[in-house]
Amino acid sequence: MRMAVVGTGYVGLVSGVCFANLGHAVLCVDKDREKIDMLNAGEIPIYEPGLQAIVQANREAERLAFTTDLADAVGRSDLVILAVGTPSLPNGEADLGYIAQAALEVGEAMNDYKIVIVKSTVPVGTNEKIRAILSRASAYPFDVVSVPEFLREGSAVQDTLQPDRIVIGADSHEAASIVTELHRPLTDQIFVTDIRSAEMIKYASNAFLATKISFINEIANICEKVGADVTQVAAGMGRDRRIGPSFLSAGIGYGGSCFPKDTQALIQIAGNVDYDFKLLKSVVDVNRDQRNNVIRKMESFIGDLSGRTIAVWGLAFKPNTDDVREAPSLDIIAELIQRGAIVRAYDPVATDNFRKAYDHPKIVWCADALTVVDGADALCLLTEWPEFAEADLERIGERMKQAVLFDGRNVFRKERLEEAHFRYYSIGRPHLNRFSAASLPRA
């Protein structure tokens, strides 16, 4: 098929490239000329493992091109994918301004029957609004199909090429079967439903995963008080197929471009129909508090943080991405600074993005996982990049004022820390605490 993908953010770029890889002719469109120039020069605006190679291969095969000319791309396509951003408005609601504008331009550019797939995450009822905009702008027939996107940053290519499932929301049999066939090479787990349910599936899925994370974080907090190990609890719970083992890693809470935005949006969607989504509000509160929890732990174990040097391993909201949107590191580092600490920070790829979001004269930006700890009173692990798990802890400890590690992601095993003589504090594993306040004199 010939397709135009409008929006070259995470979802648009990865979907466009993956459809090209299946043999379709794909034109990726964005208003941002700088971004399109970059892509045409073979550069990828986001850090995503595997993406560069697949973009290059498909450009060379002439199945993939980038343009700012939406009207031309739509005119040459049978199918249009809308994948523009729906950022949060100050009240948490999704901002539909970009998608409404894109729909208007697509409608004006139509020259024949088209299928318009909506991949942006949009509140229930938005596909119908898009249909109304298209009808006003176009004299040609079309169908609107909702195909929400479930890819994760850091494994976006694999998630798109081998998804767990594809959800298709449609009210036309013909369009549903064309879109089903389009996705058939990716998986046989294709779930076809009505448009409003498809829109809701996306929010409900993200809200449920966020709930699992806040749930296990609260269990971790209780484990700390009752002397249980949350990693063992999660492993035991996960053996129940009704619960499943994933998204039960306790830590410093979820961040990223989706969970924080989509949980707030769903609370707002519910509020708009006079439903108070109490459970999800608590999920959001627990997530916020889990970040402060780390600071509280540091204070209870090393005392007043003012004048202390805290080394930070990891800034990205999770490994394998340079994305710091809503990253726990932003709040935790700002809080450390607020309490008078000096922060030394290192991330393999996310430092530039972090500095654009937040910078401060009391933050020393470091080039590697070793030098960042020089002279530190404590090391705090915020993102579980593999290089941290593999670090030479003996060498790390020698460079610090005292070998103290706050592990916000439960990366380390007990034996490893004992060998390295580290004092250690993690999340929900109280038996691993090798601390006493008295053992930490102010240097």
Tell me how far CA of residue 78 lies from CA of 25, 110, 114, 310, 349, in angstroms: 10, 10, 5, 55, 38
Answer for which of 152, 281, 399, 434 binds ligand UDX (CB under 6 A) is 152
Q: Is 244 annotated as a binding residue?
A: no
331 lies in the site for ligand UDX, by CB under 6 A = no
Q: Is 2 annotated as a binding residue?
A: no
Q: 28, 223, 258, 366: which one is catalytic? A: 258
b/e string for 234-271 if b means 16 or more Cβ within 10 A?
beebeeeeeeeeebbbbbbbbbbbbbbbbbbbbbbbbe
d(CA 90, CA 143): 32
Phi then psi for residue 135, to 5 deg, are -60, -40
Report, in Å, the least distance between residue 197 CB and ligand UDX: 17
d(CA 11, CA 82): 10
Report, in Å, the least distance between residue 269 CB and ligand UDX: 17
200 lies in the site for ligand UDX, by CB under 6 A = no
Identify which of residues 138 and 263 has a Cβ nearer to ligand UDX in the complex.
263
Task: For residue 28, indicate whether it is catalytic.
Answer: no
151 lies in the site for ligand UDX, by CB under 6 A = yes
Report, in Å, the least distance between residue 183 CB and ligand UDX: 16
Report, in Å, the least distance between residue 152 CB and ligand UDX: 4
Only one of the segments 38-46, 144-152, 306-314, 339-347 lies at the binding site for ligand UDX (rule: CB under 6 A); that segment is 144-152
Identify which of residues 251 and 348 has a Cβ nearer to ligand UDX in the complex.
251
Q: Is 89 annotated as a binding residue?
A: no
Task: Give the bridge partners for 114, in sequence order.
Answer: 142
Q: Is 121 annotated as a binding residue?
A: yes
134: left (phi over 0), alpha (psi -120 to 50) or beta: alpha
230-269 footprint of ligand UDX as x/- string (CB under 6 A): -----------------xxx-x--xxx-xx----------
Residue type, 201: I
- Residue 274 CB contacts under 8 Å (≥ 6 apart), including other chains: none
Only one of the segments 60-68, 149-157, 334-342, 422-430 lies at the binding site for ligand UDX (rule: CB under 6 A); that segment is 149-157
Residue numbers 398-417 binding ligand UDX by CB under 6 A: none
Q: Is 325 annotated as a binding residue?
A: yes
Q: Is 261 annotated as a binding residue?
A: yes
Give alpha helix (H) positions in 325-436.
328-338, 351-357, 386-389, 393-399, 414-420
- Determine contact, residues 54/162, Cβ cutoff 8 Å: no
Report, in Å, the least distance between residue 203 CB and ligand UDX: 11
12 lies in the site for ligand UDX, by CB under 6 A = no
Q: Is 248 annotated as a binding residue?
A: yes
**How many other C-beta atoms are found inside a 10 Å radius of the C-beta of residue 275?**
10
Site residue total, ligand UDX (CB under 6 A): 19
Residue numbers 29-88 binding ligand UDX by CB under 6 A: none
318 lies in the site for ligand UDX, by CB under 6 A = yes
Answer for which of 47, 317, 354, 424 binds ligand UDX (CB under 6 A) is 317
Report, in Å, the least distance between residue 427 CB and ligand UDX: 10
- Determine contact, residues 268/280, Cβ cutoff 8 Å: no
d(CA 427, CA 430): 8
Burial class (CB in 10 A: 0-12, 13-18, 19+), 395: exposed
Q: Is 351 annotated as a binding residue?
A: no
Report, in Å, the least distance between residue 401 CB and ligand UDX: 29
- Determine contact, residues 146/118, Cβ cutoff 8 Å: yes
d(CA 418, CA 264): 42
Of 298, 302, 287, 204, the closest CA to residue 250 belongs to: 287
Token pair in block for residue 221: 């907090």
Q: Is 318 annotated as a binding residue?
A: yes
Only one of the segments 48-56, 151-159, 264-272, 349-357 lies at the binding site for ligand UDX (rule: CB under 6 A); that segment is 151-159
Of 338, 433, 304, 420, the closest CA to residue 373 belongs to: 420
User: What does DSSP say about strands 309-313 and 25-29: parallel, antiparallel, or unpaired?
Assistant: unpaired
Answer for which of 150, 203, 388, 412 binds ligand UDX (CB under 6 A) is 150
Q: Is 119 annotated as a binding residue?
A: no
d(CA 230, CA 218): 10
CB-hemisphere CA count at 13 Å for 80? 32
Please give the residue whose beta carbon sits closest to ligand UDX in the complex.
258
Identify which of residues 74 and 295 has a Cβ nearer to ligand UDX in the complex.
295
198 lies in the site for ligand UDX, by CB under 6 A = no
Hey, which residues are catalytic here?
Answer: 258
Q: Can you say which residues are annotated as belonging to the binding site? A: 30, 35, 86, 121, 150-153, 202, 247-251, 255, 261, 318, 325
User: Which residues sit at the interface with ligand UDX, rule CB under 6 A?
Assistant: 149-153, 206, 209, 213, 247-249, 251, 254-256, 258-259, 317-318
Q: Can you say which residues are annotated as belonging to the binding site for NAD(+)? A: 30, 35, 86, 121, 153, 261, 325
